[in-house]
Structure 1
Amino acid sequence: MFKRILVPTDGSDITAKAVTTAVQLAQVHGAQLLTLSVMEPFPYSAVSEIQPVPPQEFIDAQQRVASQRVEAVCAAAAAQGMACKGHTIEALHAWEAIIDHAKSEGVDLIVMASHGRRGVAALLLGSETQKVLTHTELPVLVVK
């Protein structure tokens, strides 16, 4: 049924549940597993010329963390005998990057985690998962 499954990762414990689910689904369907970690762009500020961290140091750290997150997902897949294709992308809005990447890679299922916040907390904090659900036409499996 599914041929290409994308599981975005932010390295959190809740995302680990989504990774486990995505690996299992990929095994059952004989699908290709893809993972994505979105990096924040450097917060350039016109207000202050003094930056606490030099831009290249910030960028290198973001790349290192994003690569570790992707490698962790691919390692989880490899432990189950599955191949995994990983990417890191810099984007202002993670949800947009996830949707764009899913489209460009021909993904037919996105597996994402949710903290399960409700009420005012969900309204105020927002959710990358909620934004992906709202803005994509692709199927999204939400793991709590």
Structure 2
Amino acid sequence: MFRNILIPTDGSPLATLAVDAGITFAKETGAKITVFTVMEPFHLLSIDAEQLASTREQYEALSEVHASEVLAAAHGKAQAAGVSCDTDQARTHDVYRAIIRKADDIDADLIVMASHGRGGVGALVVGSVAAKVLTHSTIPVLIYRKK
């Protein structure tokens, strides 16, 4: 049923568990995957501790290294599981739109992603990327939540 799965990740522990679950699901269904990460541009006003402690150049260099490491780790896991895997990354403020656009671009028939379940001020200020993808995607979305 599923042949092409997009797995967005930010490299967080929960997102990494979702990548692992997506790889397992893809192996069981014979699907190929694309692991995708979106780096947010540097913000002068931010609640992200990494951005508050860095200059624009430092932040962008560090985020590039982080994205490469996250994608390489996911690619290695997929290869070890025998799952065909592509990787890609983007830099934009509109994370959920980038995810949906990537899913459309690769003709994905499923998006597998984590939901961090932010609450309080974090949810009000940042919003939930997973909720926005769920709301705006025409492609089925499987949300991974930690047990």
Same fold (TM over 0.5): yes
Give distance in 1, aligned partners of 2:80 and 2:65.
Answer: 22
Unaligned 5+ runs, structure 1: 46-51
- In structure 2, what is the equivalent of residue 75 of structure 1? 76
- For structure 2, the 5+ residue unaligned runs are 46-52
Larger deviation, residues 53-62 vs 106-115:
53-62
Residue of structure 1 in register with 2:135 after alignment = 134
Once the two structures are superposed, the pairs formed by residues 1-144 of structure 1 within 5 Å of their partners are 1-43=1-43, 53=54, 55-117=56-118, 124=124, 125-144=126-145
Contact 1:37/1:67, CA 8 A, preserved across alignment: no
Q: TM-score, normalized by length of structure 1?
A: 0.84
CA distance in 1, matches of 2:42, 2:115: 26
1:44: how far off? 6.3
AA of the residue aligned to 1:27: K
- Asked if 1 retains the 8 angstrom alpha-carbon contact of 2:117 and 2:128, the reply is no
- Aligned-residue RMSD, C-alpha: 2.4
For 2:137, the aligned partner's letter is T
User: Contact (CA 8 Å) 1:34, 1:85: kept in 2 or not?
Assistant: yes
Amino acid at match of 1:86: T
Structure 1 residue 94: Cα displacement:
1.0
